[in-house]
Amino acid sequence: MSVLLMLESEAGKLRKSARAALAAARRLAGKAEHKIDVLLFSGSGGHDGQQAAEEASRLPGVGKVLHAPTHPLAEQAAPFLAQHARNYTHVVAPASATGKDVLPRAAGLVDVQPITDVVEVIDEATFVRPIYAGNALATVRSSDPVKMLTVRPSSFEAAEGESETPAPVETVQLSETSQARFIKRDLASSERPDLESARVVISGGKGLKDTDHFHKLLEPVADKLGAAIGASRAAVDAGFAPNEMQVGQTGKIVAPELYVAVGLSGAIQHLAGMKDSRVIVAINLDPEAPIFRVADYGIVGDLFEILPQLQEKL
Amino acid sequence: MKVLVPVKRVVDYNIKPRVAADGSGVETQGLKMSMNPFDEVALEEAVRLRENGGAAEVIVVAIGPKATADTLRTAMAMGADRAIHILTDEAAGHDGGIEPLAMAHLLEEVVKKEQPGLVSIGKQAIDDDMSVTGQILAARLGWPQATFASKLELLPEGRARVTREIDGGVEVVEVSLPAVITADLRLNDPRFATLPNIMKARKKPIETIEAGSLGADTKPRLETLNVREPAERKPGIIVSSVEELLDKLKNEAKVL
């Protein structure tokens, strides 16, 4: 087995999802002598990517690093990935915005059916993935010569360790394209932990009433818990929180140790993004809210009273 | 410029589907079916382009058995000018057993015939949650792609500026046309079909093509070994105070 693992950097460093994707790649590679090569895109955000390349070269079990210090435009990245894919049995990427953009396009060039959002690797050709907003788990076997998949980072325990001798790093250039041009990126800057890898997440819904309360009530509690803040789609649509904070089928998929759902009902689409959390707490005025069906601990009550109490007692 | 909008008929988003007892799949028989919500957004964007002069014609295309024609009628009531129905075998189920790769192969044939300047498609279908068809289609056509679009502006000289939803925020890209755009929910609020428009849609044409006659490779690459329910969470408890909650989180769940 041989695996090509596509990774990306953020702010000059390897993204947190890299080690979870590596764990999935190691399941596929099987024996230690089977190789995992990394294709790293580091061009996002004005950093030169040297630190990310260095980090990637020290990931355990990596044979070599192909370092593309460019922004991963799908029109450039996919042909490169497709061209190299034929030398491997598997191509793996985290199910991030970049992974979901580039890998299926590469699969289209190789003419294989990609398998996305894999949550479990059964064997080299058999994978488990959620369907219908996580209401069912499908086990599928691929007959394609190269298996191309994205893996859900929250479903794999991050691979730990460093290799003593760094793998060789080869800088690669992608061919130019006139078809697409990167203009700019606007990233929300936050001191808080990254939503997808946070140990604790506190999420707010429409019950917080307005943007002001969303921030004033959730932030102090999040500070005390060291938590990332998430939001339901209703809260995002109402403008309480930016899109990138949305948890759910169409937003982020999280599986923290503790998920605190505040003033959100728990629609199917929201549950899809958080129901694999280890412990779920729900705070809601409506005892019939579906969120209580998945919550380990629930408080039926007014969040405008409960959150300040929580803040005080933490 | 023509805009081609592929739409998919799926189990309505409000319905929690049940897994078949024999683990062969998800029960869809008798459930309410609707247009995939992301495709409604992709369609709305195309109709707006026609209304503001950016596009001359909006063509919808769907792949599936006979009942898929209902979804195409809905699309035309929302403003599409005409429809193409790629008819699949009734016995193969509501999705015709067509995987996204095969779907892209079929759509590729339609694109070659219709020569649209833009393909506007939903970013994912809410049944298989694959999120790959637009990217594969763009790859096969050799066209640029702008996925997870939350804003689309047509520029002069056959280019489009697209704002994309990415992990930490948004990104802006420019692509040359023809291109494939995949719609995020933020792109717009789809309109409802009004009764007069539903009546008018009955007169709009649907061209039906047998899937097999397009000469596309639709052989499945994946075999579904089984479909199961995810593990049920054990029932939780309702606590009566913040103190009790914190006590449970510390001493029982040990997460604090």
For residue A146, the domain's CATH number is 3.40.50.620
pLDDT at A257: 97
The mean pLDDT of A43-63, rounded to a whole number, is 89
pLDDT at A32: 65
Whether residues A150 and A291 fall in one domain = no
Residue A187 lies in a domain: no
Per-residue pLDDT at A71 exceeds 90: no
Q: Say whether A264 counts as a known binding-site residue.
A: yes
Residue range A223-237, pLDDT digits in tens: 999 999 999 999 999
**Which residues on chain B are in Cβ contact (under 8 Å) with A70?**
none
Query: Residue A11: which pLDDT band, with cuts at 50, 70 and 90?
Result: confident
Average model confidence (pLDDT) for chain B? 96
Whether residues A119 and A267 fall in one domain = no
Task: Please indicate whether, in this complex, the C-beta atoms of A132 and B17 are within 8 angstroms of each other.
Answer: yes
**Which residues on chain A are in Cβ contact (under 8 Å) with B243?**
313
Q: Select the residue of A101, A131, A139 nearest B127 (Cβ to Cβ).
A: A131
**Which residues on chain A are in Cβ contact (under 8 Å) with B130?**
114, 116
pLDDT at A116: 98
Structural domain range at position A156? 3-171
Residue A62 lies in a domain: yes
The lowest-confidence range among A246-255, A282-291, B81-90 is: A246-255
Q: What CA–CA distance (Å, rounded) separates A267 from A235?
A: 13
Q: Say whether A266 counts as a known binding-site residue.
A: yes
Residue A190 lies in a domain: no
The mean pLDDT of B209-235, rounded to a whole number, is 95
| DSSP sequence for B45-71 | HHHHHHHTTS-SEEEEEEEESTTHHHH
Per-residue pLDDT at B31 exceeds 70: yes
Whether residues A20 and A152 fall in one domain = yes
Report whether B169 contacts A188 (CB < 8 A). Answer: yes
Interface of B with A in 21-40 (CB under 8 A): 26
List Cα–Cα distances, B191 to A278, B5, B72, B122, in angstroms: 39, 16, 15, 16
Distance from CA of B239 to the nearest CA of A (A): 6
Whether residues A65 and A20 fall in one domain = yes
Cis peptide bond prior to B178, omega within 30° of 0: yes
pLDDT at A47: 75
pLDDT at A187: 85
Q: What CA–CA distance (Å, rounded) separates A225 from A212?
A: 20
Task: Please indicate whether, in this complex, the C-beta atoms of B135 and A75 are within 8 angstroms of each other.
Answer: no
Per-residue pLDDT at A45 exceeds 80: no
The mean pLDDT of B231-240, rounded to a whole number, is 92
Task: Please indicate whether, in this complex, the C-beta atoms of B136 and A233 are within 8 angstroms of each other.
Answer: no
Whether residues A149 and A63 fall in one domain = yes
Q: What CA–CA distance (Å, rounded) separates B120 from A56?
A: 37
pLDDT at B135: 98
Per-residue pLDDT at A13 exceeds 70: yes
Whether residues A71 and A116 fall in one domain = yes
Whether residues A48 and A164 fall in one domain = yes
Residue A189 lies in a domain: no
Report whether A9 contacts A56 (CB < 8 A). Answer: no
Per-residue pLDDT at B14 exceeds 80: yes
Residue range A121-133, pLDDT digits in tens: 999 999 999 999 9
Q: Which residue of A has its CA nearest to B245?
A: A297
pTM for this prediction: 0.94
Query: Residue B18: which pLDDT band, with cuts at 50, 70 and 90?
Result: very high
Counting the structural domains of chain A, the total is: 2
pLDDT at B29: 87
Query: Residue A167: which pLDDT band, with cuts at 50, 70 and 90?
Result: very high
Query: Residue B5: which pLDDT band, with cuts at 50, 70 and 90?
Result: very high
Whether residues A211 and A121 fall in one domain = no
The mean pLDDT of B209-214, rounded to a whole number, is 97
Long-range CB pairs of B199-203 (<8 Å, 24+ gap) are: B200/B77, B201/B73, B201/B74, B201/B76, B201/B77, B202/B73
Residue range A186-204, pLDDT digits in tens: 887 778 998 988 999 999 9
Interface of B with A in 227-256 (CB under 8 A): 227-230, 233-234, 236-243, 245-246, 248-249, 253, 255-256
Task: Please indicate whether, in this complex, the C-beta atoms of A139 and B225 are within 8 angstroms of each other.
Answer: yes
ipTM above 0.90, yes or no: yes
Report whether B97 contacts B108 (CB < 8 A). Answer: no
Q: Which residue of B has its CA nearest to A8?
A: B167
The mean pLDDT of B240-246, rounded to a whole number, is 97
**Which residues on chain A are in Cβ contact (under 8 Å) with B228?**
136-137, 139
Whether residues A107 and A45 fall in one domain = yes
pLDDT at A30: 81
Query: CATH no. for residue A256?
Result: 3.40.50.1220
Per-residue pLDDT at A305 exceeds 90: yes
Average model confidence (pLDDT) for chain A? 94
Residue A253 lies in a domain: yes
Whether residues A33 and A139 fall in one domain = yes
